[in-house]
Structure 1
Amino acid sequence: MSREFSTPSPYSRRHFLRNAGIGTALMGGAAFNPVLSSTASAASESYKVAPLHQLLLLSNEWCTIINDAALRAAKVLGLPYQSTTFNLNDSLALTQAQSAAAAGAKLFLTNSMDGSSLGPIAKTAHSLGGYLVNVGTDIPWTSPLDYGPGFSQDFHPREDIGFYGAVRETVRQAVAKFGDKATFFHITGPTGTFADDLRSAAVNHAVSEFPGVKIIGSLPGNWNAGDGQKATEDLISRLGVPNGIIAQNDGSLTGVLAALRGLGIKAGDKVLTCGVDGSTDILRAIKSGRVTATAFQSPAYHGIQAVAHLFDALNGYQFTTPERFVGFAGIVVTKDNVEGVLKRYVDNPNLPFDPRLLSHVISGDNWDPQAPLVPIKYEEYFGVVPKPAGYKPPAAYVASIKSGEFDRVTRQYEAAYKLKLEDFDYPGVKV
């Protein structure tokens, strides 16, 4: 991969690390001392810095963790940081981005609701010499390549892999417990959103591998506890108690558990349940046996990876075409590994990932994505919804596939992945 650097800022790396109050020795764990040595030596170099503004989807736990992790990663990398919340309204996100730009922000991180704000925000960022990273929903069959260099990266959890794994494990256990004719309810998300379509496809894929298993009822839980509880109560009143309930996210799964508790039905015994996201209450419910599985897609990683990418883009790192649309599969959490997940990702006061190792500019040949981060093939990811009429993929994407660049970058990312998500003894970075 090529590395090109912008004109250095008058502020040295050591200067802004000192001002951030974190010094140069941030890494915990003796096993990582060689990496610490190489990254610490970069402290004498100069890097560009610019204000970063995060646009948060909601004020829920998921977004709060992203915000906290991004804030601390920005501190490590010396980037001034602010955030606002747009409450599922992409039009408001655009207004907030424009206000932040007027106040001096150049770098933007958003968790888009429907993708409608991405083009205008990217244009705003580019006009200022800055960049945008999105960790939320985009318009199906579009990518950063459709919006120019200001939209530097789309980053997504591979829910078609992670959630599929959580559902498959739950159905497997239900078949072992109740027989091969096990029945399930499906609590979906907001109708018509791509994220909901993707998760529904993962559910259908997993259930199809067990021919006798059936989904006998489905209602939207809209990714919140209240609607998840109501949907569960409505379905049970009409169809009786199923063997399992699949919730399209852990917010609605919280509501599923509340409904079962209110009806005197023991979750984990009479009914097996699963979700996706890995919220704290659901992880603890797995530990207690009330939930069978969830797909943990660390929200902290979303924030840290995005901040490191923006830092690199600002400092002239030239990302290849495949690196601009990437994703990772999380951890399927069950009772077998939940204590490790809680240890590293929930009960740990430190950042569970190192922002400096995620920066190509700082870490160089030691770069480690610290998650199974790989480029996304559009056909695999967007294939759950029809292509728009007359759709043609971006020419740069087609060229990347044909030239072998896409596969080459994928292999490079796979080889660089050293610090595994399942390394639950990693102490993290104190910030």
Structure 2
Amino acid sequence: MDSLSLSRRHFLQFSAGAALLGGQLLTARNVLAQNLLTAPVHQLLLLNNEWNTIVNDAGRRAAKVLGLPYSSTNFNLDDSTALTQAQSAIAAGQKFILTNSVDGSGNKNIARAVASNGGALVNFGSNLPWSHPLDAGDGYAQAFVTREDVGFYQAVKYTLGEAVKKSGPALKVLHVTGPKGAFVDNLRSASVYHALSEFPQAKILGNLPGNWSAEDGQKAAAELVARFGKPDVIIAQNDGSLTGVLAALRSLNLKPGSDVLTVGVDGATDILRAVKSGRVTATVFQSPAYHGIQAVVRLFDALNGYKPSVPERFVGFAGLLVTKENVDGVMARFVDNPNLPFDPHLLSHVISGDNWDPQTPLVPINIEDYYASSGTPKPAGWQPPAAYAASIASGEFEQVTQRYQQAYRLKLDDFAYKGISV
């Protein structure tokens, strides 16, 4: 059997077996018993921060459920290092790769390298602006993104609204950004300015990069307050740097949540607890566990012959706005829960068939809307990939979008869901 194919006989055997499981956990033993293929997967980790640690742990546990050997390395915000690590992993036989790219610069080379060895890449980080996985060929199985233009915009808007209630409309705002040049950071900045446009008297006094880390976030916030004085709001472009912002405020004898309102994005555990205590006004929960599980499952499906349609090659979802009103539910399902908060076999097209459930509001990405929302100008003469343009013109893109929306049954805010024990 070819390493990327699944015979109809095996698929039907597995579909029947899955039906008999009756919702019970699909274990690695079940997978192997159904003649599904397994192969090593390797994760290229962005950083060793808490968010990425959760991604890694969830990916490892999902791989265990599916019988996939799993390993990981850390490229520490350097996509050239990620490419080198991918090449080493491929040489060692780990040709199925998941990664969280900083700027997308290495994605095409990694995708082509895994494809030449019969493997696949899933990236849940940045892509080069105005690019599409189709540009890299079949090896780039999927780009998976969070819709910062929706989720982060909502969190910033909510926090600014709360600040206006407290301090009036003439808000003084400081802005802690991410790594300079990262597309995700550009998209988050565009979301900030979109929200600010609805508060005409609010003004960003200054910004510095927090580089997705607590240490740099603390340095940035301390320097900004030293330059511009006490603000009404500090916007941090991820929860890792927001952790540092909170530390900086404490060192300056400024009380987060009282003297200064803060907002972040990603849904790190310490920030969720800070929302509960009132020290942080809002964040966007973009489940790190989901990123790891979803990427591993997509690689499993690629290994077992699932051929995604063009719209499925680039997908994303808007995270969950977290405030004091719903943080207890978020904590119960996603933090204080030893189980996996998403079901890997429901996420697998190969395993679940017509019962497939993305378990988040996952939809195909309209790349023109998505890249335009970042404020990144369209390159002169740019044209979308021919297959993507044909998918839009034929109505396939809209049909797949509707199918994904209809398949979404286990809701992200279903806080009663107990998860899967692994």
Distance in 1 (alpha carbons) for counterparts of 2:77 and 2:291: 18
Equivalence map 1:11-22=2 (5 Å): none
Cα shift at 1:58: 1.2
Matching residue within 221, 232, 252 for 1:263: 252
Q: Is the 8 A contact 1:9 1:47 kept in 2?
A: no
**In 1, are the aligned partners of 2:133 and 2:142 still within 8 Å (CA)?**
yes
* More displaced stretch, 419-428 vs 182-191: 182-191
CA contact (8 A) 1:9 1:49 kept: no
Residues in 1 aligned to 2:199 and 2:24: alpha-carbon distance in whole angstroms: 48
Amino acid at match of 2:367: Y
How far 1:42 moved relative to its partner? Answer: 7.9
CA distance, structure 1, for counterparts of residue 209 and residue 26 of structure 2: 50
Q: From the superposition, tell whether residues 429 and 37 of structure 1 become closer, same or farther in structure 2 (CA, over 3 Å).
A: closer
Q: Any conservation in 2 of the 1:107–1:132 contact (CA below 8 Å)?
A: yes
Aligned match for 2:377, one of 378, 386, 394: 386
- Which of 405, 412, 417 is equivalent to 1:421? 412
Amino acid at match of 1:235: L
Q: CA deviation at 1:415?
A: 0.4
What does residue 318 of structure 2 align with?
329
Question: Which residue number corresponds to residue 6 of structure 2?
Answer: 6
1:245 aligns with 2:234: yes
Does 1:122 find its partner at 2:120? Answer: no
Note if contact 2:101-2:125 (Cα within 8 Å) is conserved in structure 1.
yes
Deviations 1:150-192 (A, max 9, x none): 1110001111111111101101111111112222111111222
What's the RMSD between the two structures over aligned residues? 2.6
Matches within 5 A, 1:308-323: 308-323=297-312
For the residue of structure 2 that corresponds to 1:109, the secondary structure is strand
Q: 1:169 to 1:298 in 2, by over 3 A?
A: same
Task: Give the secondary structure class of the aligned counterpart of 2:201.
Answer: coil
From 201, 210, 217, give the equivalent of 1:212.
201
1:8 and 1:48 in contact (8 A); partners too: no
Task: Report deviation, 1:406.
Answer: 0.5
Letter of the 1:162 partner, please give it. Answer: G
Contact (CA 8 Å) 2:26, 2:65: kept in 1 or not? Answer: no
Aligned to 2:63: 74
Partner SS state of residue 259, structure 1: helix
For the residue of structure 2 that corresponds to 1:133, the secondary structure is strand
Structure 1 residues 14-38: Cα deviation after superposition (integer angstroms, max 9, x where no partner): 9xx9xxxxxx99xxxxxxx954499
Residues 58 and 289 in structure 2, CA contact (< 8 A), matched pair in contact too: yes
1:400 to 366, 383, 391: 391
User: 2: CA distance between counterparts of 1:375 and 1:272?
Assistant: 34
Taking the aligned partners of 2:179 and 2:307, their CA distance within structure 1 comes to 37
- Aligned ranges 1:47-58 → 2 under 5 Å: 47-58=36-47
- Shift of residue 238, structure 1, vs aligned partner: 2.4
Equivalent in the alignment of 1:367: 356
Specify every segment of 5 or more residues in structure 2 that has no aligned partner in the other structure, as ranges.
Answer: none
Post-superposition Cα deviations, 1:91-111, rounded to whole Å, max 9, x if no partner, equal: 221222122112211211111
Note the alpha carbon deviations across 1:203-241, whole angstroms, 9 max, x for none.
011111122222222222222222222222222222221
Query: How many Å separate the matches in 1 of 2:405 and 2:182?
Result: 30
Normalised by the length of structure 1, the TM-score is 0.91
Instruction: Give the AA of the match of 1:428.
Output: G
Asked if 2 retains the 8 angstrom alpha-carbon contact of 1:13 and 1:47, the reply is: no
Note if contact 2:133-2:313 (Cα within 8 Å) is conserved in structure 1.
yes
Matched residue, 1:21: none
Greater CA deviation, 229-238 or 136-145? 229-238
Trace 1:13-412 onto structure 2 (pairs within 5 A): 35-36=23-24, 45-383=34-372, 384-412=375-403
8 A Cα contact 1:9 1:48, kept in partner: no
Do the aligned residues in 1 keep the contact of 2:178 with 2:212 (CA within 8 Å)? Answer: yes
Q: Matched residue pairs, number?
A: 414
Q: Which runs of 4+ in 1 moved over 3 A?
A: 7-10, 33-44
TM-score by length of 2: 0.93
Aligned counterparts of 1:193 and 1:268: Cα–Cα separation in 2: 29
- The one-letter code sitting in structure 2 at the alignment partner of 1:118 is N
Q: Aligned residues: percent identity?
A: 63
Q: Distance in 2 between matches of 1:371 and 1:222?
A: 27
Give the conservation status (yes or no) of the 8 Å contact 2:25–2:420: no
Shift of residue 333 of structure 1?
0.6
334-343 vs 219-228, which moves further: 219-228
CA distance in 2: counterparts of 1:95 and 1:214, whole angstroms: 43
Extract unaligned runs of 5+ from structure 1. 18-23, 26-32
